[in-house]
Structure 1
């Protein structure tokens, strides 16, 4: 069964230390986390870790784990490029998995990307303040270590409720700004994740917490998915809110959606095209394919119409909510006078993509692999992402077919079909 993780920041928001604490409360090895954080201390000049521990705490009567991290820092800002180099070195000295390293770097890049936009500076000219502290690195490295230890970076679907971002104002290095802070708001704008003001009149979600959540690419939910919860962790923050437990809850379990074949409803749009050049039809197919995630498939079928005219039948399978955009695009691009529409029920097997680390010619890569399962939860097909295979082939200068065969053999050796 596929692992399910539900992150619930709808009441108290999310910060890096709350996320890390919740994972420890779920059973992540706190000694391994503490050791990794202590290991990176030497990479931050003029920095001393005075105290680091996870303690039992409570908020509004609810027991939780809290991360205590007391430091002494003399250097209060760093160049963004330098911070990326430090994080890369942190990954090397802590023996994180390739997927964990990728998570660390993408999380830091998210923070830097939004800071670059906010201050209108290139990365090489950008100086970070709060986010350049070892405190930020500790949250990210610690979280990556915990995710690694709980085996949550592979074959896992992450879910998140909407994120509470608080209200009022916050004081930081650039003065007084409203909540959510600019960085938090930018992260959620880029990732298109929903937020909600309140419930407290304070900062409830930090940039590090928002970036960590974004790095997990969660599916947004208003109600919990169907799953079997095995572990529940509570991570406490430091602020106290009247009537609001300052706690992030994380639930870890297994999927239970294998009782029957799933189905949904899709729109099928069709039109005949008999007066367009092949290059223009190809361009239309490309535009349709990139239009929206709601486009399920685009197909061209060659045929003969009355008076023996050659024709291409364009067929687009899509979700109903975007069919008007597709219809408008087809009319504008083709000049066709009519488009046929049918509503079909579609039966489908579970499918999902995971990131898989592989090694070819002593070089490590992370590829996206699409996995499909039957109604009983058994894996029936594993297919690597073609674009990833082509990129590896081009980098190594070897034939595409040979690269595909090599990757498929590596996947087969993982015994994933036995999962």
Structure 2
């Protein structure tokens, strides 16, 4: 069942430490996170972590968790390129999963992208100030570890409410600037997430906070989606406001479904190929069919292009978190110059996999079978794994078609429901 996480930033915005704290308040392993963050110290020259902890606190009477990080830093800035390299090393040091690594790097790149535009400098000539601190790394790496611990990188849709952006002015490395800061505005513009001013004259949403929304591909919502709520976490900010709790609320649960039909989002990648051989296309299909790559479906359709030239249309369906690796393979293997991308919402039947023993020609085999059912519990489809049928056919010297028919009949006789 698809998991849902709602990031409620409509009252007091979002910052990196508030998001991390909300995840810990939701049940993420605080000890594991603190140990991982401690490992980052050696990667940031001139930085010393004097004290670090997650504190139980309250804000206007509401119990919450607050991330406490006491630092001593001598480096006030780093180049964007250097910071990216350090963050890659951080991901390796704490042994993040590929999903966690992508979240961290994509979040940092969101900051670099807008800072480059604001300062009219290419990333290689850009110097970061606040975003180059170890506390940025602590927020992003800590959040990635927490998301992994809560199993939120797999089959999860993230939503964000409109984001409160505060007011008044902020003093930072470039002097005085009004709230929201330029970086916050630019990122929220790119994400097409609505904002709300106030509720105080202070900075309540930070670039790192918005970068996290970017790294999670959070979808905007004016109201909470249909959800069974399992966990609620409150992350407290450092500042105290009169009559307003400085909190970020995160709700984690699952989608409401009275039947076995659920919805999720997939990336559909498509490109026209008109100048490669059949051997190259065949090799591409083999590469894209590797299970670990996470391709949900791949197809090639023949067609005609301008001047009646024949072409092949490659279409790949995958998740957003795996699409970058898939795009890289398509570029390398085909030489195409562009790949179209569309995010589609799809309906799908919930399914599970079971192992069924069968005997063919006095030989025993164990077959993995995927079973899908309707909302009444009736079996809609049972499909043995292709590779296993292929392997059995080879061992028995049968055709694939005959082997599949035999296996399906044997499964039917076992009355698997």
TM-score, normalised to structure 1's length?
0.67
Bigger mean CA deviation after superposition, 163-172 or 250-259: 250-259
For 1:3 and 1:418, locate their aligned partners in 2 and report how far apart those are by CA, in whole Å.
Answer: 21
Deviations 1:191-213 (Å, cap 9, x if unpaired)?
11111111111111000001001
Judging changes above 3 Å, is the alpha-carbon distance between structure 1 residues 200 and 95 closer, same or farther for their aligned structure 2 residues?
A: same
Matched residues in 2 for 1:416 and 1:192: separation? 42
CA distance 1:71–1:61, shift in 2 (3 Å): same
1:127 CA drift (Å): 0.8
User: Does the 8 A contact of 2:353 with 2:371 survive in 1?
Assistant: no
Does the 8 Å CA contact 2:226/2:255 hold for their aligned counterparts?
yes
What residue is the counterpart of 2:12 in the other structure? 12
3-state SS of paired residue (2:188): helix
Counterpart in 2 of 1:44?
Answer: 44
Report matched runs for 1:378-397 at 5 Å. Answer: 383-384=317-318, 389=326, 391-392=328-329, 395=332
Partner of residue 3, structure 2:
3
Whether the 8 Å CA contact 1:155–1:354 is kept in 2: the answer is no
1:345-360 mapped onto 2 (5 Å cutoff):
350-353=263-266
Q: Deviations over 1:130-172 (max 9, x none)?
A: 1100011100000011011111011001111100000011000
Give the secondary-structure state (helix, strand or coil) at the position aligned to 1:166: coil
Aligned to 2:30: 30
| CA gap 1:388/1:35 in 2 versus in 1, 3 angstroms | closer
Could you tell me which residue of structure 2 aligns to residue 222 of structure 1? 222
How many residue pairs end up in the alignment? 305
Cα distance between partner residues in 1 of 2:154 and 2:89? 23
The whole-number CA distance in structure 2 between the counterparts of 1:99 and 1:115 is 25
Cα RMSD for the two superposed structures: 3.2
**In structure 2, what is the equivalent of residue 144 of structure 1?**
144
Q: Distance in 1 between matches of 2:20 and 2:90?
A: 17
Aligned to 1:102: 102
The answer to whether 1:64 aligns with 2:64 is yes
CA distance in 2 between counterparts of 1:112 and 1:246 reads 27
Deviation at 1:180? Answer: 0.3
Partner of 1:186: 186
Structure-2 separation of matches of 1:397 and 1:387: 16
Distance 1:37 1:137 in 2: 8
User: Is residue 2:136 matched to residue 1:131?
Assistant: no
Q: How does 1:107-122 map to 2 (within 5 A)?
A: 107-122=107-122
Tell me how far apart the structure 2 counterparts of residues 417 and 142 of structure 1 sit (CA, whole Å).
Answer: 36
Structure 2 stretches lacking a partner, 5+ long: 269-285, 298-315, 336-351, 355-367, 373-417
Pick closer, same or farther for the CA change 1:417–1:161 going to 2, 3 Å.
farther
Q: CA deviation at 1:353?
A: 2.4
Residues 60 and 384 of structure 1: is their aligned pair in 2 closer, same or farther, counting only changes over 3 Å? closer
Gapped regions of structure 1 (runs ≥ 5): 262-348, 371-381, 399-411
> Taking structure 1 as reference, are residues 351 and 147 closer, same or farther at Cα in structure 2, changes over 3 Å only?
closer
1:245 to 1:387, Cα distance in 2 relative to 1, 3 A: closer
Give the conservation status (yes or no) of the 8 Å contact 1:368–1:388.
no
- The verdict on how the C-alpha distance between 1:418 and 1:16 changes in structure 2, with shifts beyond 3 A counting, is farther
TM norm structure 2: 0.67
1:230-249 correspondence runs (5 A)? 230-249=230-249
1:56 and 1:65 in contact (8 A); partners too: yes
State the Cα distance separating 1:351 from its structure 2 match.
Answer: 4.0
Q: Distance in 1 between matches of 2:317 and 2:80?
A: 37
